[in-house]
Structure 1
Amino acid sequence: MPRFSGKTVIITGSSNGIGRSAALLFAQDGANVTITGRNAERLEETRHLILKSGVSESHLNSVVADVTTSDGQDLLVKSTLDKFGKIHILVNNAGAAVPDATGATGTDQSIDVYHKTLQINLQAVIEMTKKVKPHLMETKGEIVNVSSIVAGPQAQPDFMYYAIAKAALDQYTRSIAIDLIQYGIRVNSVSPGVVATGFTNAMGMPDQASQKFYNFMAAHKECIPALVAGQPEDIANIILFLADRKLSSYIIGQSIVADGGSTLVMGCQVHDIKQMMGL
């Protein structure tokens, strides 16, 4: 029997990238899946991909909604309950590094960018968690948040608001994990490094430039020691692991880093120490 048979999962930001891959894997492993995103065309691509894999329409709920709005959140919860009756798993995947319209980075970014960045990466997670909590209490369910290695401890001067939001998300994950485990709800997160998705496109980077970025990162061991950019399914498989209580039942409030080794190196480590010493 598929391991998520009879379970219902909501995956925010599932019209592309990691969310799309997670939705496909959950559905193929027996789950009822609510997919959602703001872009109706991309969401339909996710829906078609899942149905094409052999999953029945009866196991899929597709909702065009903005998860940063109260109405969008309510629609996600209500439509999921209306179709499937219960909620067992919440995957808070929606997130973005919001670019400044003027091209500013660092301390020159506007406060408006700060508010928008925290709204999608942190506030929406908090609000969805609060709204789904009573239903997860009933099913003794799971929450998996998608964070990022930009949370630290390395500085992120160009997109500091995004880094701030993810650092706060990590603390939120730890805190609610202890708050909610008393109700049988288990909370964890995954922190991806460089993953080839539409993330850079959302930042305003065209396809060709995005590919150059990923190629550069993968070609430099000071960026990714594994010398390969991650793929959405690399992170999606970790999400499913954290949502599977049989496999990860004793993991509470942790974040699994999946970054090809990026956070384990410093710039000086890519140089040969013997050459540094003139030996």
Structure 2
Amino acid sequence: MSGRFQDKVAIVTGSSNGIGRAIAILFAKEGAKVTIHGRVEKDLQETANQIVSAGILSENVVVVKGDLREDSVQKELLQKTLDTFGKLDILINNAGGVGPDMCGRKGFDMNMEDYDYLFDLNLRAVVTLTNICMPHLIKSKGEIIMNSSISALPLATTTLVYYAMTKSALDQYTRALAIQVIRDGVRVNSVNPGVVLTKIFEKQGGNAEKIATALAMDPLIVPAGYYATPQDIAEVVAFLADRKVSHYIVGHCLVVDGGNTLMNKNLNSEIIGLGNSTTNGAV
């Protein structure tokens, strides 16, 4: 299948559902060979099935299951990709979370185990995976896209404090890394979503569609009046990864939030932090 990523090879972490799944399917439809990753076997297989159902050859999809916080899983991601496809052109650091599944804790009530979990998943795993992939991305003059959040912006997200800290750090890493490697031919950018309908709400014990709809319908939260879908974010990621159309964008954190962060910052900081039921996005 031809497309803008024809003959490209991409790794998409956290692609067993949500935004990552949408990215993997879109890139495959656009001609890329993709390595998908996730923790839940049935969800990961569903992503693979949807890619094949879209008319993609099964040999153009590599599946890696495991916890991205483990160095062995990161090494398997890269090695399987190289063994199967022979190179790496695009790294999508999508995997992340707002806390351990169903932990029931939020804000400053989260403990240090929660803190370590978030920093290991949302930040350390990104850095270590990027480090081992970098020589191959330099060789291919490739692209790196981070999936961050509007929680990274200078707003006091009190009920998502550790999550927001990891995403703020990720944005700084994006900017610094972009400067470091652009002369080597590698572009680094980030997408920073707002309210997106994904399973992240359900993993915190809420009803995803009900929460996302309530957030989006409030003009003080999302001026656009509707929530984003994973496909909406995937399209932006594809734009950032397509050097033909975005080649002069380097080290940018692109906010995609329906106008959320245009609101009064003091008010907005409280809206973003209303609790587990309103986790401000889906990254």
Q: What TM-score, normalized to structure 1?
A: 0.92
Instruction: Report how far residue 228 of structure 1 moved.
Output: 0.2
Which SS does the other structure have where 1:237 is aligned? helix
Q: Distance in 2 between matches of 1:12 and 1:83?
A: 17
The 3 A distance-change label for structure 1 pair 268 and 90 is: closer
- Higher RCO by CA contacts (8 Å cutoff, separation 6 or greater): 2
The letter of the residue matching 1:266 is N
The 3 A distance-change label for structure 1 pair 196 and 115 is: same
What are structure 2's unaligned runs of at least 5 residues?
Answer: 269-283
Q: Which residue of 2 aligns with 1:245?
A: 243
Which SS does the other structure have where 1:163 is aligned? helix
Q: Distance in 1 between matches of 2:68 and 2:245?
A: 29
Q: Which residue of 2 aligns with 1:184?
A: 185
Q: Which residue of 1 aligns with 2:255?
A: 257
Indicate conservation of the 8 Å contact 1:100/1:110, yes or no: no
The answer to which of 209-218 and 238-247 deviates more is 209-218
Aligned residues: 267
The 3 A distance-change label for structure 1 pair 66 and 267 is: closer
Instruction: Report how far residue 248 of structure 1 moved.
Output: 0.6
CA RMSD of aligned residues (A): 1.6
Indicate conservation of the 8 Å contact 1:96/1:202, yes or no: no
In terms of Rg, which structure is larger? Answer: 1
The 3 A distance-change label for structure 1 pair 60 and 266 is: same
What per-residue deviation string (whole Å, max 9, x for no partner) do you get for residues 39-89 of structure 1?
Answer: 110000000000001000121111112211000000000000000000000
The letter of the residue matching 1:221 is P
Q: Which residue of 2 aligns with 1:215?
A: 213
Which SS does the other structure have where 1:158 is aligned? helix
What percent of counterpart residues are identical? 45
Q: What TM-score, normalized to structure 2?
A: 0.91
The 3 A distance-change label for structure 1 pair 56 and 160 is: same
Instruction: Report how far residue 269 of structure 1 moved.
Output: 8.7
The letter of the residue matching 2:237 is I
Q: Which residue of 1 aligns with 2:42?
A: 41
Instruction: Report how far residue 204 of structure 1 moved.
Output: 2.9
The letter of the residue matching 2:150 is I
What are structure 1's unaligned runs of at least 5 residues?
Answer: 271-279
Q: Which residue of 1 aligns with 2:115?
A: 114
